[in-house]
A and B are shown apart, each in its own frame.
Chain A
Amino acid sequence: MPEHVARRPPAPPAPGREAPPSGGLAVRSVTKRYGRRPVLTDVSFTVPAGRSLAIVGANGCGKSTLLKICAGLVSPDSGTVEVHGPVGYCPQEMGLDGHLTSADHLAWFGRATGMSRRAAVERGGRIAEALDWRIPPRLQVRHLSGGTRQKLNVTAAMLADPHVVLLDEPYQGFDHGSYLDFWDLVSRWCDEGCAVVVVTHMLHELGRVDDVLDLSGTEVA
């Protein structure tokens, strides 16, 4: 069983407790194996509304798998995840359609919460602006740079005003300014009451989050 050492360890949920302290996310005893290889063993933590958690660890230690389990995209072998309110998930890989425009993606995601195309693009434009990005009206996604596609991924994840935000290394390809804007946004989303989980390798930015979960068992300096 890997030891989960954190600089400021996230509080494990109390036994038998049905809900995290105040909204947010509660992960209880999640275990996952790929074949005979254990990836996650008895992982538990909570992220209350208004707080942020960074998940760190070596390559292949199960960070992305854990986030997908939290989003409900992958089933664990055992354990439960409790989420309060809508979830916004931004994957590490580009989960986008290269032949659609950014506005098309926002219209598609926005429709899930009843937004019109115009409303979704307007709201997406405001989120994008905070990432120092202006949504191109007609350019297909395949023509965007990697960093810009990732900004679209973040924008789509935040479109429905989620209460729980799950971000898997979302800043890949960001320029320096956008990267700093991103961490400011994480703080802002927490101030607005979101529970934010970020998978990251950027150990020097761990001061920007409230809690750290190290899946590799190596203590974070």
Chain B
Amino acid sequence: MRGWAVTAEMTLRDMVGRRSVLLLLVLVPLVFYAARREDFQGQAIRFASLGLAWAVSTVSLFSASSARPLEPRLRLAGLGTAGLFLGRLTSTVGLGVVVAGLYSLLITADQETVHPWSAVLALAASASVAAALGLLVGALVPRELEGMLVLITVIGLQMIVDPAQRLAELLPLWSTRELVGHAVDGEGDVTAAVTHWVAYGVGMAVVALVLTAVRLRRRRHVVRVDASVAR
């Protein structure tokens, strides 16, 4: 895990250096929330969660893309693949969870819910799954534009697909919908939602880590000889 802390720090510094991105990260879910606030309650919370997922996954994708040319050199310098990946994951999840915390406060104050903690969990699930999704897409698709189109497809599909369809459950943000349902109507399987959240979050992170490890692998044609003898 060599390099985990410094990579997490640099990922945060990179994001803090993009002030307009930070602003949009906070505002995008608000736009989604405000657009459906006058509808029945569940829709506003659900759309805030999906807006959060959209914003966090995009930030995560661009964070992965911007580090892509730098990572082979950092690996060559001696940092570990796991450290590079988990450092980035920690920062993107952390940033997403902070924004989720802000929206938890807003929703708790502004909406009447049967189970407020389920709404909080829904937002946390959105942020963390979206961070892993962005890194996975970034690992799978090296170019930002193509990656963005993949994200639009996945999250857009989650928004429009009929929740009764089997496809809805196969998509990464199904847990959010289920938790929002539990928060608003008292309906929804919290255990299944949390299981789905953990399985998809961890699963996507592991696949992204494996892809990153393959990309940054030590090539077998290079024979490294210890030159610790004094020059």
- Which residue of the partner chain B has the closest CB to A108? B10
Residues of chain A with a CB closer than 8 A to B13's CB: 99-100, 104
Binds A, one of B1-9, B40-48, B150-158, B159-167: B1-9
Contacts of B149 in A (CB 8 A): none
Query: Which residue in chain B gives the minimum CB-CB distance to A109?
Result: B77
Check if B70 is an interface residue, CB within 8 A of chain A: yes
Nearest-neighbor residue (CB-CB) of B227 within chain A: A85
A73 & B225 in contact (Cβ 8 Å cutoff): no
Stretch touching chain B among A39-47, A87-95, A127-135, A203-211: A87-95
Whether A84 sits at the interface, judged by CB under 8 Å, is yes
Q: How many residues of A contact B (CB 8 A)?
A: 46
Residues of B within 8 A of A140 (CB): 17
Q: State whether A160 and B227 are in contact (beta carbons under 8 Å apart), knowing that A72-B219, A95-B69, A108-B10 are contacts in the complex.
A: no
Complex contacts, B228 vs chain A, CB 8 Å: 85
> What CA separation (Å) do A111 and B6 show in the bound complex?
7
A83 at the interface (CB under 8 A from B): yes
- With a cutoff of 8 Å between Cβ atoms, the chain B residues found around residue A104 in the complex are 10, 13
The verdict on A186 contacting chain B, using a C-beta distance below 8 Å, is no
Contact indicator A99/B77 (Cβ below 8 Å): no
- Are A99 and B66 in contact, CB atoms less than 8 angstroms apart? yes
- Determine if A173 is an interface residue (Cβ-Cβ < 8 Å): no
How near does chain A come to B224, taking the closest CB pair, in angstroms? 6
Asked whether, in the complex, the Cβ of B231 is within 8 Å of the Cβ of A87, the reply is: no
Question: Least Cβ distance of B13 to chain A in Å?
Answer: 6
- B226 located at the interface, meaning its Cβ lies under 8 Å from any Cβ of chain A in the complex: yes
- Asked if B221 and A112 sit within 8 Å, CB to CB, the answer is no
Interface residue A170 (Cβ < 8 Å from any Cβ of B): no
**CB of B67 closer than 8 Å to a CB of A:** yes
Taking the closest CB of chain A, its distance from the CB of B54, in whole angstroms, is 21
CB contact under 8 A between A49 and B77, given known A72-B219, A108-B10: no
The answer to whether A111 touches B222 (Cβ under 8 A) is: no
Q: Are A160 and B77 interface neighbours, CB within 8 A?
A: yes
**Chain A: CB-nearest residue to B7:** A108
Q: Within 8 Å of chain B (Cβ to Cβ): is A217? A: no
A69 within 8 A of B: yes
Residues of chain A lying within 8 A (CB to CB) of residue B72: 73, 95
In angstroms, Cα B70 to Cα A92, docked, is 13
Residues on B with C-beta less than 8 A from A112 are 2-3, 74, 77-79
B102 at the interface (CB under 8 A from A): no
Nearest Cβ distance between residue B104 and chain A, in whole angstroms?
28
Tell me, in angstroms, the Cα distance from A99 to B19 when the chains sit together: 10
A104 to B76 CA separation, bound complex (whole angstroms): 18
Contact bitstring B207-223, A, C-beta under 8 A = 1, else 0? 00000000000111111
Partner pick for B76 among A71, A85, A107, CB 8 A cutoff: A71
| A57 contacts partner chain B, Cβ-Cβ < 8 Å | no
CB nearest to A71 among chain B residues = B76
Q: Is A122 an interface residue (CB 8 A)?
A: no
Assess the A80–B221 pair: CB atoms within 8 A.
yes
Proximity bits, A156-167, B CB within 8 Å = 1, else 0: 110110010000
Contacts of B77 in A (CB 8 A): 109, 112-113, 156, 159-160
On chain A, the residues within 8 Å of B7 by CB distance are 108
Taking CB atoms, residues of chain A closer than 8 Å to B231 are 23, 49, 163, 192-194
Known: A97-B10, A111-B3. A89 touches B73 (CB 8 A): yes
Q: Which residue, B17, B77, B78, B219, has most C-beta atoms of chain A within 10 A?
A: B77
Which one of B67, B74, B76 lies within 8 Å of A87 (CB-CB)? B76
Contact with A along B65-99 (1 / 0, CB 8 A): 01101101110111100000000000000000000
Given contacts A99-B17, A156-B73, 4 further A-B contacts (CB under 8 A): A80-B223, A100-B14, A100-B17, A112-B78
Q: List the interface of chain A (C-beta within 8 A of B).
A: 19, 23, 30, 49, 69, 71-76, 79-87, 89, 91, 93-100, 104, 107-109, 111-113, 140, 156-157, 159-160, 163, 192-194
